[in-house]
Structure 1
Amino acid sequence: MKKPQPNARITPLRETWSQLMSSARSRAPQLRASLIGLGIGATVQGLALACLIPLFQTLIPQPNWLAALPWLLTMTGLMFVSMLIRWWAQGFDYRGDMVQNAHELRTALGEQLRRLPLEQLQGKRAGEVTATLLGNVDENLSYLLTVANMMAHALITPVVVALAALWFDWRMGLLMLLVFPALIPLYRWRRPAYGRGMQMLAEANERTSANILEYTQGLPVLRSACCTGENAERIQASFLHLEKIQIMGQKKGSKPNLILATVIELGILLVVVLGTLLVVQGSLNVAVLAALIVIVVRFAEPLATFVLYAKVIDLIEAALSKINAILRVKPLAQLTPAQFPQTHDVVFEGVIFSYANTDQPTLQNLDARLPTSSLTALVGPSGSGKTTLTRLLMRHADPQAGRVTIGSVDVRAIEPAQLNALISVVFQDVYLFDDTILANIRMARPDATDDEVQTAARAAHCHEFVTRLPKGYLTQVGDIGGSLSGGERQRISIARAILKNAPIVVLDEPTAALDTESEVAVQAAIDALVRDRTVIVIAHRLSTIAAADQILVIDDGQVVESGRHDELLMYAGRYARMWQAQKSAKNWHTGQCI
């Protein structure tokens, strides 16, 4: 985990306010009004408490209830008005504005995830993104008004009382004004440490969330590999690290917090001592001192814990930082004017591409042409750039140099939705959502009828096994399609691609992990999918692509050989050696079995 540096920048409160209003989106006016309302409510409460001074003057030393009644009624009325204002201001929570704001913020984050370059998103762990969408959004909003209300009554109300006290005795009022604002430098002193602590805590929570999700999703693999204990230790290490951060925050904060509380208590004690001296000297009315003692005792605890309330600001700031880190990522640039290809040949021209934080290019001046309605196979060692080539076609990222075109149109000039509509992808590792089979296939074309879905399923050779299931097409497939076999998931994926009916098809070794029977069924489904389309196949098993229109041998980010199967064998180069190696391996296994 990357720890914040000791001198890491702490966001100024003004900037935090600006970010908060920005995150409130359409509810920003309501949130701003609620926060201002809490300030007004605290001010009115300060005026109400200031009424204690003239009220005590009418009661000490000789009670005059007739003179006290107007002040008592005024104080009661101001308290009632303060209560109404605070009740209205905190309505941001209970009227549903906060919930609506959280919904809008999560929706905005979801829309941003759809626009993000997938290369950047693939670098994030699923648990980290989940923590931002759920935890950080809640941290941003859930405690805001409660803490704002506490802070307003810990700071604004005492200052208002002190200002009112100036009217009755300027010495006591001035002393109180010197004590209460002392909170500001004390808060500024502690805020950098609190800010770093909240950042470290947010990162520890994020890492723990990611580890829990990874462990839960990987349990079948971990059990089969007898590694559940080792990975449970990894989660336990996350818990221990989180505990360490929390304990460290408590230990490091205890002494400064004690200092802050002591300073406030001493300040209040100074008000009482000085007031007593002035009463003894006869220059201060004892009623004024009595009222001030009641008031300062009332504020002792809120003032002493003011900086602790302010820690939540840093929690909110840490959440805002995580949210804004996602919202600030710019989508891939779109060339204008937008164009749409009329043909579907694919061309890579002088493509140079490097992944972030790597020095070695993955693709180096790569040139390739894939004619319309042809089948092109990409072969080569792992890490040679085959998958990267298809990702650039789908615009998961853009090359640093060169370009990728479809029908002579740069993919950067094709609107994202239209580009997605042009390409169907069948991955080796199929991802199905925890929904019905019908919904998983229809995902490719949401407006498709049930008959169209079933027609695609028949073409993909999955209608037969689907109808044998208890609920047929309404059967839930489970998390990541876990209730189905690998071959069944693959055929549903192909049915989805057939229903989409895109002119370009990318196949990422779809039969590599299947048994012989499943491979035959999936291959028949693929034959229906690729008919009359521009097809790109990433292949490791060379026997499956011997009939390809062209084979591109990629190594070290470049096309080192190209041609048909027979031509490449006659050339006796890299492809021929790969073919011979696989053929020898197959014969060796056969001999061992005999």
Structure 2
Amino acid sequence: MSTPQPMPTITPLRDTWRQLMTSARSRAPRLRASLIGLAIAAMLQGLALACLMPLFQALMPRPEWANALPWLAAMTGLMLASMTVQWWSQGFDYRGDMVQNTHELRTALGEQLRRVPLEQLQDKRAGEVNATLLGSVDENLSYLLTVAGMMAHALITPVVVALAALWLDWRMGLILLLVFPLLIPLYRWRRPAYGRGMRMLADANARASSDILEYTQGLPVFRAACCVGQQAQALQASFQHLETIQSIGQKRGAKPNLILASVMELAILLVVFVGTLFVVQGSMALAILAALMVIVVRFAEPLATFVLYAKVIDLIEAALGKIDAMLSIAPLPQQQPAQMPTTFEVAFENVTFRYANTDAPTLDSLNARLPTHSLTALVGPSGSGKTTVTRLLMRHADPQAGRVTIGGVDVRAIAPEQLNALVSVVFQDVYLFNDSILANIRMAKPDASDAEVEAAARAAHCHDFITRLPDGYATRVGDIGGRLSGGERQRISIARAMLKNAPIVILDEPTAALDTESEVAVQMAIDALVRDRTVIVIAHRLSTIAAADQILVIDGGKVVEAGQHETLLARDGRYARMWQAQQSAKRWHAASVQA
């Protein structure tokens, strides 16, 4: 389970505006216009309400319709104009701009996932990425215009009324201008707490999402290990953490929220009290006081709840921060001009690589040369750097020193799409998507015909078992391919690699977890796959790579031995000791079975 995150910082409002406009992408001008329109609508409403003061003067104590009707017409026209502008501004939501914006934003995040160095992406939990792609995008704009409209009417409209009141009674106008801007310091006082609370809540939700996904995917393992309850307790702890964050926000926010509402209510009562005092003293017309009372009653609730509206802005800021963090991850730099190799020998030249947040290098000045159309096996203890070698070839990350080349071309000079086309990978743990077998194979070559897919399946020795399935090639494999056996999944993965027909093949011990019958079938498929290709095999069972063209023994991030099987045995070095240890284990196993 994940560890608690450090206390989040508060984003300045100008940065929030920048992030918002950036996330709006092609709809940024339309969103900017809508927000400006809401401000204009609030100003127009303020002018309309200000018309109440001269209107009441014309009606009290005796109605003077000649003077009242123009003000009534002006107020009506301004209210209609305010409603029209607000309706147009809210069109960002109901005319589909918001939907298009969220679609563009998710598309941009999806494209970013293709560019993000996989080394960095592996540090993020799947649930956190899911929360960013779904929850954060929805939180970004779903409530924005509604809340912006409420805040504009709670802040801009009263200020416009106060400015207009200066014309009729400068004293009341000045008092209103002193009261209404109280919102700003009150908001600034509470904003850091709201901001931290919303960010902590967003992090807790992301953590819970990740833990739910991890628990669901690992449920078969948990059951097999008889630790369903333990893991459920860990998941429950994540839920408890989320509940704690929510409770803290409610408890700590109750008193300040009550104070904020009370201050604004008292301020409004002060306006009424002072106005009444002026009327009693005869220095202000009763009509002005009556109009002001109608106006302050109109603003009482919006002003008292203004800071609560602002909490949603902090929710949006938290979502924008997650989106911005994902989009700001820089892709690996591309050397120019781009090049494309014409031959496919692979070389590692003085390669040094250190993973982030680690002290010792995983690879330390590693040198290796893998000839074209050869099979090279990488062996060594766990953590020696074997997998890192293949990851650098596929450019999941770049080395801090040295270079990796294909056909003499630095992989940093090969366009990512072209580099991906040069390498096929058959992993030990096969990942199949919850789609048909046909689609899972065809993903290696989306424009492949059904006949090409079937030819690849035949070459990978999986056509027969596929045709025995109820729906044949249309059979859905289930989540992560769970409806198929390990050997069947592995052969589909090999069929996918054969359809791709890449000149370089990486095999990550594809038969390690298979039974004997499945291993034979998979090995036959592998023999067809590696023909006339540059092949790299990560091997743990040395008996499977005895016929390799060369064997590289890696330890401590260096190639400590290199050669063919017989040559390395004759040297009686590291490889020979590994071989003898495995042979002894086999003999012990055979003896125990016979006994």
TM band (smaller chain) = over 0.9
Alignment of 1:379 onto 2:394: no
Q: C-alpha separation between the residues in 2 aligned to 1:9 and 1:422? A: 44
2: CA distance, partners of 1:103 / 1:277 = 58
Aligned to 2:579: 579
Matched, 1:287 2:293: no
Query: Which residue number corresponds to residue 186 of structure 2?
Result: 186
User: Is residue 2:107 matched to residue 1:107?
Assistant: yes
TM-score by length of 1: 0.98
Structure 1 letter corresponding to 2:441: I
Query: What amino acid does structure 2 have at the position aligned with 1:59?
Result: L
Per-residue deviation, 1:59: 2.1
C-alpha distance in structure 1 between counterparts of 2:19 and 2:206, whole Å: 21
Residue identity in the other structure for 2:502: A
* CA displacement, residues 385-414 of structure 1 (integer Å, 9 cap, x when unaligned): 000000000000000101101111110011
Query: C-alpha deviations, 1:298-349, integer Å up to 9, x for none?
Result: 1011001111111111111111111111111110111111111111100101
Q: Residue 484 of structure 1 corresponds to which residue in structure 2?
A: 484
CA distance in 2, matches of 1:35, 1:570: 78
1:438-517 equivalences in 2 (<5 Å):
438-517=438-517
* CA distance in structure 2 between the aligned counterparts of 1:505 and 1:437, rounded to whole angstroms: 22
Partner secondary structure for residue 364 of structure 2: strand
Moved more, 257-266 or 40-49: 257-266
Q: Residue 95 of structure 1 aligns with which residue?
A: 95
Is 1:542 paired with 2:532? no
Gaps of 5+ in 1: none
Task: Tell me the residue number matched to 1:325.
Answer: 325
Q: Indicate yes or no: 2:183 matched with 1:170.
A: no
**What's the secondary structure of 1:277's corresponding residue?**
helix
Query: How many residues of Structure 1 are paired with residues of Structure 2 in the alignment?
Result: 592
Distance of 2:302 and 2:468 partners within structure 1: 68
Quote the residue 2:552 is aligned against.
552
Distance 1:4 1:150, change over 3 A: farther
RMSD: 1.0
The aligned residue for residue 351 of structure 1 is: 351
Distance 1:542 1:4, change over 3 A: closer
Cα distance in 1 for partners of 2:298, 2:553 equals 80
| Cα displacement string for residues 259-290 of structure 1 (whole angstroms, at most 9, x for unaligned residues) | 21122112111111111111011110000001
Cα distance in 2, alignment partners of residues 339 and 68 from structure 1? 80
Deviates more, 1:373-382 or 1:70-79: 70-79
Q: Report SS of the residue matched to 1:491.
A: helix
CA–CA distance in 1 between the matches of 2:334 and 2:239? 43
Indicate yes or no: 2:67 matched with 1:77. Answer: no
Deviation (angstroms), 1:73: 2.7
Secondary structure of 1:559 counterpart:
strand
Distance 2:5 2:568 in 1: 53
Paired position in structure 1 for 2:247? 247
Could you tell me which amino acid in structure 1 is paired with residue 160 of structure 2? Answer: V
Q: Map 1:132-281; keep pairs closer than 5 Å.
A: 132-281=132-281
Distance 2:63 2:232 in 1: 72
Deviation at 1:483, TM superposition (A): 0.8
C-alpha displacement of 1:71: 2.3
1:313 corresponds to: 313
| One-letter code aligned to 1:213 | L
Please report how far the alpha carbon of residue 257 of structure 1 lies from its aligned counterpart in structure 2 after TM superposition: 1.5
Deviation at 1:416, TM superposition (A): 0.5
Instruction: For 1:38, give the aligned amino acid.
Output: L
- Greater CA drift, 265-274 or 351-360: 265-274
Instruction: Using the TM superposition, give the Cα deviation of residue 202 of structure 1 relative to its aligned residue in structure 2, in angstroms.
Output: 0.9
- Which residue number in structure 2 is paired with residue 54 of structure 1? 54
Instruction: Tell me which residue corresponds to 1:122.
Output: 122
The verdict on how the C-alpha distance between 1:551 and 1:349 changes in structure 2, with shifts beyond 3 A counting, is: same
Match of residue 569 from structure 2: 569
Within 2, Cα distance between the matches of 1:9 and 1:506?
44
Distance in 2, Cα, partners of 1:109 & 1:396: 18
Deviation at 1:252, TM superposition (A): 1.4
Is the contact made by 1:25 and 1:101 (CA closer than 8 Å) also made in structure 2?
yes
- Separation in 2 of the partners of 1:446 and 1:87? 46
Alignment-derived partner of residue 335 in structure 1: 335
- DSSP 3-state at the match of 2:559: strand
DSSP 3-state at the match of 1:90: helix
1:435 partner SS: coil
Change (3 A) 1:101 1:534: same
**Residue 390 of structure 1 aligns with which residue?**
390
Q: Distance in 1 between matches of 2:18 and 2:223?
A: 49
Name the CA distance, whole Å, in 1 between partners of 2:485 and 2:275.
83
Is 1:41 matched with 2:41? yes
Aligned-pair CA distance for 1:58: 2.1
Unaligned runs of 5+ in 2: none
TM, length-normalised to structure 2: 0.98
Q: Report the Cα offset of residue 66 of structure 1.
A: 4.7
Does residue 531 of structure 2 align to residue 524 of structure 1?
Answer: no
Q: Is the 8 A contact 1:201 1:246 kept in 2?
A: yes
Counterpart Cα distance in 2 of 1:80 and 1:236: 53
Cα distance in 1, alignment partners of residues 82 and 238 from structure 2: 46
1:65: how far off?
4.1
Q: Secondary structure at the match of 1:114?
A: helix
Give 1:18 shift.
1.3
- Superposed displacement of residue 2, structure 1: 4.1
- Is the contact between residue 4 and residue 200 of structure 1 (CA under 8 Å) also seen in structure 2? no
Q: Distance in 2 between matches of 1:581 and 1:445?
A: 42
**Partner amino acid, structure 1, of 2:494:** I
- Which residue identity lines up with residue 68 of structure 1 in the other structure? A
CA contact (8 A) 1:4 1:196 kept: no
Whole-Å separation in 2 of the counterparts to 1:234 and 1:113: 29
Once the 2 structures are TM-superposed, how far is the Cα of residue 9 of structure 1 from its aligned partner? 4.0
